[in-house]
Chains A and B, each alone.
Chain A
Amino acid sequence: MRAVTWQGRHKISVETVPDPEIVNPRDAIIRVTSTAICGSDLHLYDGYIPGMRAGDIVGHEFMGEVIETGAASTLKRGQRVVIPFTISCGQCFFCEKQQYSACDNSNPSETRDASELMMGHAMGGAFGYAHLTGGYAGGQAEYVRIPYSDVGPVVIPDDLADDDVLFLSDILPTGWQAAVNADIEPGDTVAVWGCGPVGLFTIQSALLLGAGRVIAIDHFPTRLALAKKYGAEILDYTKVDVREALAEMTGGIGPDACIDCVGMESHGFTVDNILDQVKVKLLASTERIHALRQAILACRKGGRLSIPGVYGGFADKFPLGQLMEKGLTVKSGQTHVQRYSGELLDMIQGGKFDTVSLISHHASLEDAAEMYRHWHDEQDLYTKIVLKPGLKKGDISARQELQHA
């Protein structure tokens, strides 16, 4: 089959690789129909994730058609399914508590040691994201093996298009959980840092969960325009002092909940590189830690801080005293995708979410290298890229219909 592979820093290539096989009874194989490039894929692209090995198949936002099932799979051939990026067994202590991204079985024995050393406990498994989360092949490919296929995949009714439901794999539930974690009370003012795809779904989710107003912070005009389209008030941080603006917009008390959708978005490091990587992370992420620090300082006393943005290690100059003295509640974590799949699918069917207008481009799998380049260099124009193995090379369509604000 053809698959998008990581070959090194800024080196993405589409290669012919072996097809996946059913290995365990609960496995299924799907033929991918749509697969998106995630913001966190950029960190692989930039070489910030040393747990990667040349030849790894990337991608963790994907959906497709079931073509083969293991003896214990509950899926049926021909079903359309969206695959959560988190691999979860459904039967361990964590999965039973619906803390699916903390699954204690999906990270294999061979790969869990490194993340246990780094994080204190082994992270759960994930598709296409380095070897600290299990070393599973990703979804930017023609076919993928799905472990525990009786638990994760979301079966999609035929009347829903791929674009309507693809983001159930990651960014929609991630934005939803970010808002749920902000414990929003009716009428609350919620501030959201970062208007990438996760931030955009966080804005929609916060309003659905009863926020009176959402204030979104970014600097890319197109992304701020999307935030406005989804109902947020917007702040361009290159034009205002964000803390002053937030204070003035809330009578001086600050937002009730602050959500950091910026993050470091790197999942960790290999054992032998830990010390080096910590240094690299600190140097590379000053601005992003700045966003989190700003969120803590801006939040009202007794408010809530939700962190869906991914951090990989130790933060420098973290305002712990401010966090404590102001009595903030903090919630964070990788997304427990399987916990929200059902209700979010219902909400999509009920027309509650705009899941389509943030997609700026469709392209074939063969054009992946070029698309990664655009995604990396032109973040204003490229707000979300969906790759379709069914398209022919060069068959790229831009669907940017926005009027810049």
Chain B
Amino acid sequence: MSRSKNDLPDPLILAAAGAGIALLVTGAALWQRRRHRESRGQEETIATDAPHWTLDKTSSRALFGKSVLINRPRPELYAAWTPERFPEFMENVVAVDDLGDDVSQWTIKAPAGREVTLVNRITERVEDTSIYWQSTPASDIANSGEVRFTDAPAGRGTYVSLILAYDPPAGKVGRLAAKLLQREPEVQARRDLHRFKQLMETGEVTTNASPSARGAESPAEPHI
């Protein structure tokens, strides 16, 4: 059964009702935001157990941290985290040269067969616990970071946390570096951290190198 025209609400009343609802919603949102801000101020003294680099952030990170559980003792992992061993498990790192005075020069693979150079200084070491570094002005990309070693509970080994911050690169290598780092910096660090875990737990870096019927692939090289 169809409704007669008189049953329909007046369009003007509809519009007014719509505007009223929109106003109410906006008002409520603003009020809630202010309330949220105020309550946050009061809660500043309340502690949280979440790592600081995970707070108040969306998942898209320029500063990021990643932790993995590695089933080895803390001192062993701390001792293994040395620049000389980085090329063993850091995929993009071609070489790390010791320049002395805790400064090392990193040669990193970049797209199109080019290379980027990082010059980093280790600023602090806490035995068996953490290593901090900071780039020097000579570095193509300004960066700083920390790797932290914490005992995992119940004899499970060690939590290894990598925290890395970098400035969006500019200058002559800016474009290249941006392409390199902004592509997927978190993914790269996460993968390297997992390779470190593989190396320390199994003695080798895991590879799926195996044959296929795809002509371009070598049975001795990993593939996606």
Contact = CB atoms under 8 A, between A and B. Distances in A.
Interface of A: 1, 3, 5, 7, 13, 15, 17-21, 23-26, 53-57, 72, 89-93, 96, 104-113, 125, 131, 134-137, 141, 144-145, 147-148
B211 A19 contact: yes
A145 B195 contact: no
Contact of A93 (B156, B203, B211, B222): B156
A145 B213 contact: no
B2 interface: no
B98 interface: no
Contacts of A144: 210
A53 B218 CA distance: 15
B-side interface mostly:
loop
A150 B224 CA distance: 25
A13 to B, nearest CB: 8
A147 B211 contact: no
Given A93-B69, A110-B191, 19 more contacts: A5-B213, A23-B207, A24-B206, A25-B204, A53-B214, A57-B210, A93-B156, A105-B206, A108-B206, A108-B208, A109-B206, A110-B222, A113-B191, A125-B208, A137-B210, A137-B212, A145-B209, A145-B219, A148-B202
Interface residues of B, number: 33
A131 B198 CA distance: 19
Contacts of A25: 203-204
Interface of B: 69, 71, 91, 156-157, 187, 190-192, 194-195, 197-198, 201-214, 218-220, 222-224
The 6 tightest CB contacts between A and B, nearest first, are: A137-B210, A55-B213, A109-B191, A55-B214, A24-B204, A15-B213
A107 B195 CA distance: 11
27 contacts: A5-B212, A15-B213, A17-B213, A19-B219, A20-B210, A21-B209, A23-B209, A24-B204, A24-B205, A25-B203, A26-B203, A57-B210, A57-B212, A72-B203, A89-B201, A92-B197, A96-B71, A104-B69, A109-B195, A110-B191, A112-B194, A135-B208, A135-B223, A141-B211, A144-B210, A145-B210, A147-B206
A24 B207 contact: yes
Contact of B212 (A55, A96, A110, A134): A55
B205 to A, nearest CB: 8
A55 B212 CA distance: 6
Contacts of A92: 71, 197, 201-202
B201 A105 contact: yes
Contacts of A26: 202-204
Contacts of A18: 211, 218-219
